[in-house]
Chain A
Amino acid sequence: MLNRLLPLLITFTLVAAACGGSDQLQIDGLAAEINPEECVDGSGKEVTIYSGRTENLIEPVLEAFACATGISVQVRWGSSTQLALLIDEEGKRSPADVFLSRSPGPVGFLESKGLLGTIDDSVLNLVGEENRSAEGSWIGFSGRKRVLVHNIDLVPDAELPSSVFDLTEEKWRGKVAIPGTNGSFVDWFTVFRDQYGTDVAAQWLNDMVDNDARYYPNNRSIVEAAGRGEIEMGLVNHYYNYQEVAAAGDEHRARNHDLDDNDIGSLLIITAATVLDSAENSEAANELLAYLLTGPVQSYFTNRTFEYPLAAGVQPNAALPKLSALEIGSVDFDALGGGFEETAKIIEASGIQNQ
């Protein structure tokens, strides 16, 4: 079979090579929107990134960074959880300089293992105190807000609740989806415990289970199911519904509902950047983090990927739900310590995963 496939493979490879670029770095599309300038010559410096943020969202930013600074960028894409496990396994010899995480959980894991280095003060000061670690081990670079996604044909606007605590009412029996074991939900629930105490948070989750809340594995599947009308509503990150609407327009029948400003259900969860303790290119790594927090990149995040900007005075895109006071950084995330382990136990014990 090889002798038949080989010519095919070679053709494919040649075509792919022909489509690849020349030596001089040139960028276009979204990357050029972020950095409209001519690319500077290669500086010989490089930085290796393990990115739990996906290629579709971040690659234009990294291309613009390489173009603007002449620093060459290597990326391993993956899920934040798996990349955190990989860094733990690689330990001191990890080739990674920077880890970008979709949510705080995997960062907390690496911090507990002592694998995170310290970010330069000049970079840390680019965001407000509430969006960075007091020890300087991580920094937020964009945000995703918790919202209640709902099917507009099944749940009239007027009836929408204003707090997650309303969802335990009989009225919503069997109608609320919860991504019980998903990373962002686990992070949210950990903050919930920190704000209201473990008893209140655990009681809420148990009440939700008693109220026949429905388990779904992740945000995307809830937003998709709400769009079809399989479920009335669900607790998710705001971000996914924008993508579904961008893809299917009015055919997608779900919209985000912003809960009360002070409700825990309106929490902003940051995506975090870290420099690893073992980083060999920590200077370039800090340059990258600083670049993520520049105006053009923050504008890109809010206008192109519908996330919340955290720095450079950039205002959130007008289409996003209004941002309230409650942000994850305003909670002392570092002090939660074994918070995630305890959270996992409570969630497991609630039985939500069998709903």
Chain B
Amino acid sequence: MTQTRAPRELRVFGLICSLAFAFPGLYLIWRNFTSGADPLGLLLANETLEPFWRTVRLAVLVSLSAAGLGTALAWCTTRTDLPFRRLWRVLLPIPLVFPTFIGAAAFIRTLNPGGLANDMFGSIGINETPELRGLFGAWFVLTLFCYPYVYLPVAARLRQLPGSFEQSALILGDSAPQAFRRIVLRQISGSLTAGTLLVFLYTISDFGAVQLMRYDTLTRAIESNYLARPPMAFALSLILLIFAGLVVLAERSVSRRLPEVKSRRASQPMTYMLGRWKAAATALVGATLVFAVLAPTAALVDWAADGLLRTQRGGRPLTIDPSKVIEAATNTLSSSVVTGFVAIMAVTPIAFLVGRYRDRIGRMTHSVVIATFAVPGILIALSLRFWTIRSGFFGDLLYDSMALLIFAYVVRFASLAMGTALVAVKTVPDGLHDAASTLGADRWRRFRSVDLPVMRPGLLAAGGLVILSTMKELPISLIVAPIGFPTLTTRIFGSFEDAFVAEAGIMAVVLVCLSALLSWFLVLRRADHL
């Protein structure tokens, strides 16, 4: 690896980014001081430790299962002759888009006792339905919501890796599983750990799913103390954030020891013939989609259809009309796509600082960006309000602007793109770079003609993660968006809160369709042409 010093502009950019991303953390620290919170005293109290350990237990379990499931799905859909691969690739990222407050409720509606599945199987005489709740329920639902954090980056990596090592291993007598363990797993380890870290951080910050599954974690303790005992809410949030920071550092020390695998876009990946395993692989992908996409969507469609039928029969009219849905869908689509682009532009330079130049500022920024993913959205929203209201002219300018909303979304979700972008930077072969600079290409030209083509699949996967996640974001969309900027998620929330399930169902179905459309753009129109 060429160890040149990072260009100064890049380091300045990194510094600015780390400050921008540190806003929520600094706000939390400030609030801990001003509210007289006592995070140290709380650290060892029972009311902290019990939910804390529950949080950790859940996060570890979800991380393990999402890592396994995501990797298996990625391998099956990119490296095998599985039928309908393109269809699966469009559908598999969709669970990312369910806001957990309605997604988990939809799971319950479909799968719990007396639910849709119960009705269906009851008619053929099966009446035993387990109740999704507690640790099992939270683990089950979050695994299904979170596997795309692993699936997307790993699939992007697998599509791009050279098959030559695997072929050699197979020729030398390794079985396919051996080749997978010895070659492929090493090659994808960077993407895998980055994705799993996101699953872990998402799980510790989730509130919607755990509360509906009635599994009492730190976020519940934070949520129910915001008004009653603000110091406690701030202290617990700080504990959560510091814990997230430690996890990020731990991941980095692991991933630093991982091998780096270079690739070129020309290389041809392996395709395995599944043979008699075809049925099993199809069952895995099919079952995942049945549970992760079909189960919640069934409840949403049921709610929506009931409402539409009711209006036809002259019951209570719907409180939404097509123009409201289109307005919200347009806002959702435009804000999330812009966020995706800005996030990629923000993290790519940081990835260069860390991956290519091993720069200290880059490493710091990288950690700050990723740890921020564990900060609950409401705190990011409040911190931005806090800072803009105190920064005079500049704050007035930004107040209630789209720019501030996009900035907040980027702070919340750029972490999703960070790990994948870093892997993408590390894949670019040094030889190519050296050759290009010997031939006199300047830095920008090298970036465009050498780096970008190799990095593109990774960056697209990263952008997809950010876009789909932004589409479902709730607290920032409510608190930071300019007044009169409804998104699908805010309207779903408003309807669902007061049990307008038909309206919520209709808009959630629109949200799922939009995400499928975006996924189709990302997967079929681009990535496969690489």
A, B in one complex: yes
Secondary structure of the A side of the interface? helix
B221 cross-chain contacts in A, Cβ below 8 A: 348
Interface pair B323/A20, CB less than 8 Å apart:
yes
Instruction: With both chains docked as a complex, state the minimum distance between the C-beta of B270 and any C-beta of chain A, in angstroms.
Output: 28
Tell which of B247-255, B283-291, B381-389 binds the partner: B381-389
In the bound assembly, the distance between CA atoms of A81 and B499 in angstroms comes to 18
In the bound assembly, the distance between CA atoms of A77 and B491 in angstroms comes to 9
Instruction: With both chains docked as a complex, state the minimum distance between the C-beta of A21 and any C-beta of chain B, in angstroms.
Output: 9
Contact with A along B305-323 (1 / 0, CB 8 A): 0110010000111011011
Instruction: With both chains docked as a complex, state the minimum distance between the C-beta of A302 and any C-beta of chain B, in angstroms.
Output: 15
A-side interface residues, number (CB < 8 Å): 70
Interface pair B499/A223, CB less than 8 Å apart:
yes
**Chain B, 491-505, CB within 8 A of any chain A CB:** 491, 493-503
**Chain B, 470-500, CB within 8 A of any chain A CB:** 475, 478-479, 483-484, 486, 490-491, 493-500
Interface pair B389/A181, CB less than 8 Å apart:
no
Interface pair B330/A16, CB less than 8 Å apart:
yes
B478 cross-chain contacts in A, Cβ below 8 A: 76-79, 82
Interface pair B334/A105, CB less than 8 Å apart:
no
In the bound assembly, the distance between CA atoms of A223 and B327 in angstroms comes to 31
Secondary structure of the B side of the interface? helix
**Chain B, 119-171, CB within 8 A of any chain A CB:** 131
Given A105-B227, A220-B496, A247-B306, also A86-B330 (CB < 8 A): no
B-side interface residues, number (CB < 8 Å): 74
Interface pair B323/A19, CB less than 8 Å apart:
yes
User: Does B80 sit within 8 A of A, measured CB to CB?
Assistant: no
A204 cross-chain contacts in B, Cβ below 8 A: none
In the bound assembly, the distance between CA atoms of A249 and B319 in angstroms comes to 18
User: Does B337 sit within 8 A of A, measured CB to CB?
Assistant: yes
User: Does B241 sit within 8 A of A, measured CB to CB?
Assistant: no
B320 cross-chain contacts in A, Cβ below 8 A: 56
Interface pair B114/A229, CB less than 8 Å apart:
yes
In the bound assembly, the distance between CA atoms of A66 and B493 in angstroms comes to 25
Q: Would you give 20 A-B contacts (Cβ < 8 Å), ordered by A?
A: A2-B337, A2-B341, A12-B329, A12-B333, A15-B326, A16-B327, A19-B322, A55-B491, A86-B385, A89-B385, A90-B385, A186-B228, A217-B211, A224-B105, A224-B499, A229-B114, A247-B501, A247-B502, A344-B224, A345-B229
Q: Which residues of A contact B (CB under 8 A)?
A: 1-2, 4-5, 8-9, 12-13, 15-16, 19-20, 29, 48, 54-57, 59, 74-79, 81-86, 89-91, 93, 95, 105-106, 109, 181, 186, 215-217, 220-221, 223-225, 227-230, 239-240, 243-244, 246-249, 340-341, 343-345, 348, 353-355
> What are the 5 closest A-B residue pairs judged by CB atoms, nearest first?
A228-B114, A19-B323, A344-B228, A243-B499, A181-B224
